[in-house]
Amino acid sequence: MLRVHDNALLRTVSLLPVIMVVAIVGLEYYVFMSEHWLPAFQHSVGFYVLFRIVEGVCFHFIVGCMLVAYYKVVATDPGYVTSAVVQRVKDAMQEALEEGSKNLPVMNTCRRCKQLKPFRAHHCSFCNRCVLKMGT
């Protein structure tokens, strides 16, 4: 999900990379279709018509998959540290302690939001919340 910030200027500026990526994909689509595919399709005969149709379908499929994947990247929650996550980490540490583990990471408290945070988490200055690092 696009991170929402209190500052209107930062909210607007944070949309610029998304707009740039969509514009680049749109330009790529326009150039491919108008400069390559359409002229080639209009001058194709016989077997080459089928080849151009397959080429166009494959191109649309790849661009569609790329746009869906990009939307998911932009719209997915980054993994905020919630009370449920903290409880899961506490339970896992308790189980490891009962099994006899000696080297357990310590649960720190975030200096900014004063919330317990797992070992693999950091405070995001843009979101103003603790966020889990990749792979956790």
In a domain, 1, yes or no: no
Residue 78: CB atoms within 10 Å: 13
CB 70 within 8 A of CB 2: no
pLDDT bucket at 4, cuts 50 / 70 / 90: low
User: Both 89 and 111 in a single domain?
Assistant: yes
In a domain, 46, yes or no: yes
- 51 or 110: whose pLDDT is higher? 51
Q: Is 7 helix (H, G, I), strand (E, B) or coil?
A: coil
Which of 36, 58, 75 is a domain's end point? 75
User: Both 56 and 28 in a single domain?
Assistant: yes
- 29 or 108: whose pLDDT is higher? 29
Alpha-carbon dihedral sign for residues 125, 24, 73, 11: positive
In a domain, 3, yes or no: no
pLDDT in tens, 54-80: 999 999 999 999 999 999 998 887 778
In a domain, 111, yes or no: yes
Residue range of the domain that includes 96:
83-132
Residue 68: what pLDDT? 97
Across the range 71-99, mean pLDDT stands at 82
- Tokens linked to 134: 């990749």
Is a pLDDT exceeding 50 seen at residue 136?
no
Is a pLDDT exceeding 60 seen at residue 1?
no
